[in-house]
Amino acid sequence: MPIQVGDRIPDVSLTLATPEGPVPVKSGDYFAGKRVALFAVPGAYTPTCSARHLPSYVEKAAELKGKGVDEIVATSVNDAFVLGAWNRDQGSSDITMLADGNGEFAEAIGLSMDASKFGMGNRSQRYSMIINDGVVEKLNVEAPGEYSASSAETMLGQL
């Protein structure tokens, strides 16, 4: 069953993409003590993710932070090097990239998907959530092939 509002984020390994290189983190520690706007994409550099999803958070970063968000985090089943390059190419310093290279986080929260028919293997579904001190406060999961519920604009309307 997918994670729900009120659930605590599971504690799994993720990798923070930094200018100095990958830094391993535990999700339980990473999301503790702050309010985070997290959005997940099926893959860095994929069409909707690059043309609409990431840009919506880059454009609305100041507004999100103005409504009480401490950090904006993007995650994907990609490695930290790919996410770091994607952020340098199309993102901003307002977006933190948190790699779920093995898909453990997506699986643990029940939001993984099989994208094998597209040659992508197991990936994350497209979603967004507000995590407040490790607990899901808001959750927006997209229907397959859709993009609107997980946008920064939708999230702003919920804050």
Q: Which residues are catalytic?
A: 49
* Long-range pairs, 139-145, Cβ under 8 A, ≥24: 139/3, 139/4, 139/5, 141/2, 141/111, 144/113
| Tokens of residue 132, six digits | 């407040």
Helix then strand then coil, in percent of the chain rounded to 5, is 30, 30, 40
Return the residue matching tokens 């092939």: 145
